[in-house]
Amino acid sequence: MNEIFSTSQNDLFVTLKKQIKKADQEKWIERFWEKDPSLWSSNSSEQKKIADRLGWINENDSLYLQSLKNLQSKIQGVTINDIVLLGMGGSSLAALVYSMQAKTKRPRFHCLDTSDPYEIKRVETQIDPKSTLFIVATKSGSTIETKSLFEYFFSKIPDSKRYLAITDPSSSLEKLAKEKNFLEIFLNPSDVGGRFSASSFFGLVPALLRGFDIDQDLRKRNKMFEECKKPTSQNPAFILACVLYDLHQKQKHRMHIKTEHSFPGLDAWLEQLIAESTGKNLKGILPFYTNSLLTFSNEYQLIQNQDGIYIPEIDFTLTWERKLSLSEVFFLWKMTTAFCGIFLALNPFDEPDVTLAKEKCIQCLEQKTENLFSIVPQRKKLDWIHWEKVLEEKPKSLTVLNFLPENERFESKLAEMQNRVEQHYGIRFMQQKGPRYLHSTGQFFKGGVDQSTFLVLTAEQKELSIPSQRYGFTKLKHAQAMGDFLALTEKKRPVFHLHFDDNINDSI
């Protein structure tokens, strides 16, 4: 049983033996490859929804590759110095990993998964409209950030041949792209869910444009397919999921990911995949990354590199005799996450509390008042002095939900705050950047293990108009922050709010 992994923990061998027996009796591996939704739910209605999210298990690479060759033909001889991706969550994070793996520096890649006016203007000033290609990526076609970003840039650069669309068939984006006559429209299989779409058009189109060798990478992935079809005792995805489940059952809910420079950007992709998939029913695994050297009792470190995976806490090593490709790592973790869902008895393919936060955001935008922060009860409004009192109550962890513009002084202040919170109070400090986390760890924060106190940070910013909307990007970002505040409150999570005025540097 131990040819592909090693551990010095005897109790882990006992757990694995028990789980392997159960999985073999219930034919987990065979049913997974048959895309049997009853692995995750006995409810027929739920099973239908799950079945519609399993297309990633055996994707049609030839479909992708032929479409990508067509794109190559269309852009041959076209000057492209910059690529701007407009997308959130599963529509952007894999693309970001691919772009960071590319060996060339051109074209430059800009990932705009934000509603922050400062970031939007920064990218706008860095690009030349005549040599920029925009990728508008959203599965549903209705993602509010992506729609708003497209409207903004298309009003500035209305050359439709500078735009590509990646979306599901029959979405509003497909209709729009046809009306505007985009350079190309990539219709992704509708049964490939957002965070499981890394090796679909959502990841591969940006990868191609950045010069990543897609053919070679996907060929290498076939080796991982074969390994993940092996019996449970030799199946890397099953073994890894079983280990993560065992740690979860021992109240180890936080996973500190380190990629050792092998796969830059992979930590953010894993964070979304695992947290959004497992963070529900008051269960789940929360990946995070930190510069802190401290480790707390309910967390462990996981090191992922091209040779394999190592968890020092339990002296567990999962190794390969070859260097893993990016597509192999993507598939291994998707299958591992799917099996974590089986172990945890939950549906890893939905994200109900992400939807809740979106609904609350829309409610905030529909309010007639300009002061969205009036919804915050006085007892939930903080300054730094009162924040100390919150820390003295010893929450399990402190999570800062940061909706502030990029600011070096504030980043330095947050680093000081992290050191004080962890060293003086013995509380894990984590920071999440809004609105990106809403499409990622936001599900875990509201539906997963209740283990944190939250502080939502916002600031006054100069408004940046969104064409055809009565609100701009600043109001949108504030509505997203307050929408999540309301969602966290509804889920009975301890949450506070701190707002900075116009001069954020003076406030800091």
Give the pLDDT confidence of 364-412 residue by residue, as tens digits. 999 877 788 988 888 788 776 677 778 888 898 999 999 999 888 888 8
pLDDT on residue 504: 67
DSSP 182-246: -SEEEE--TTB-GGG-TTSHHHHHHHHHTT--HHHHHHHHHHHHHHTTS-GGG-HHHHHHHHHHH
- Round the CA-based radius of gyration of the chain to a whole number and report it: 23
Question: Using an 8 Å Cβ cutoff, are 267 and 432 in contact?
Answer: no
Asked if pLDDT for residue 473 goes beyond 80, the answer is yes
**Which long-range CB contacts under 8 A does 156-162 form with residues at least 24 apart?**
156/124, 156/129, 157/129, 157/132, 159/129, 162/129, 162/132, 162/133, 162/134
Asked if pLDDT for residue 300 goes beyond 90, the answer is yes
pLDDT on residue 488: 97
Number of other residues whose CB lies within 10 A of the CB of residue 237: 26
pLDDT average, residue stretch 200-224: 94
Residue 133: strand pairing partners: 83
In 387-503, DSSP assigns E strands to 397-402, 428-433, 453-459, 495-500
At 508, is the pLDDT very low, low, confident or very high (cuts 50, 70, 90)? low
pLDDT average, residue stretch 174-184: 97
Asked if pLDDT for residue 507 goes beyond 80, the answer is no
Asked if pLDDT for residue 123 goes beyond 80, the answer is yes
pLDDT on residue 161: 95
Q: List Cβ neighbours of 265 (8 Å cut-off, separation of 6 or more).
A: 93, 96, 97, 99, 100
Residue 258: strand pairing partners: 303
Decide the pairing of beta strands 428-433 and 453-459.
Answer: unpaired
Decide the pairing of beta strands 108-112 and 5-6.
Answer: unpaired
pLDDT on residue 407: 82
- Report the chain's mean pLDDT, rounded to a whole number: 93
Question: Using an 8 Å Cβ cutoff, are 137 and 92 in contact?
Answer: yes
At 1, is the pLDDT very low, low, confident or very high (cuts 50, 70, 90)? very low
| Residue whose C-alpha is closest to residue 405's, from 267, 285, 254, 507 | 507
Question: Percent helix, strand, coil in the chain (nearest 5)?
Answer: 50, 15, 35
Residue 472: strand pairing partners: 465
pLDDT average, residue stretch 264-271: 95
**Burial class for 78, CB neighbours closer than 10 Å (0-12, 13-18, 19+):** exposed
Residue 308: strand pairing partners: 305, 319
**Which long-range CB contacts under 8 A does 151-156 form with residues at least 24 apart?**
151/466, 151/467, 151/468, 151/469, 152/120, 152/464, 152/465, 152/466, 152/467, 152/473, 153/84, 153/86, 153/124, 154/180, 154/467, 155/467, 156/124, 156/129
**Burial class for 38, CB neighbours closer than 10 Å (0-12, 13-18, 19+):** middle
Helix (H, G, I), strand (E, B) or coil at 451: coil
Question: Using an 8 Å Cβ cutoff, are 271 and 440 in contact?
Answer: yes
Question: Using an 8 Å Cβ cutoff, are 87 and 114 in contact?
Answer: no
pLDDT average, residue stretch 270-278: 98
Q: What domains can you pick out in the chain, each with its CATH number?
A: 5-34+219-344 (3.40.50.10490), 57-212 (3.40.50.10490), 352-507 (3.40.50.10490)
* H-state helical runs in 128-200: 144-156, 172-180
DSSP 370-384: S-GGGGS-GGGB--H
- Supply the pTM of this predicted model: 0.95
The length of the chain in residues reads 508
pLDDT (tens digit per residue) in 33-72: 999 999 999 999 999 999 999 999 998 898 899 999 999 9
**Burial class for 266, CB neighbours closer than 10 Å (0-12, 13-18, 19+):** buried
Asked if pLDDT for residue 2 goes beyond 70, the answer is no
In 42-112, DSSP assigns E strands to 82-86, 108-112
Sign of CA dihedral 161, 162, 167, 170: negative
Phi, psi angle pair for 331, to nearest 5°: -70, -45
**Burial class for 448, CB neighbours closer than 10 Å (0-12, 13-18, 19+):** buried
Asked if pLDDT for residue 214 goes beyond 60, the answer is yes
Give the side-chain half-sphere CA count within 13 A for 285. Answer: 34
pLDDT average, residue stretch 350-374: 91
Q: List Cβ neighbours of 296 (8 Å cut-off, separation of 6 or more).
A: 254, 397, 426, 428
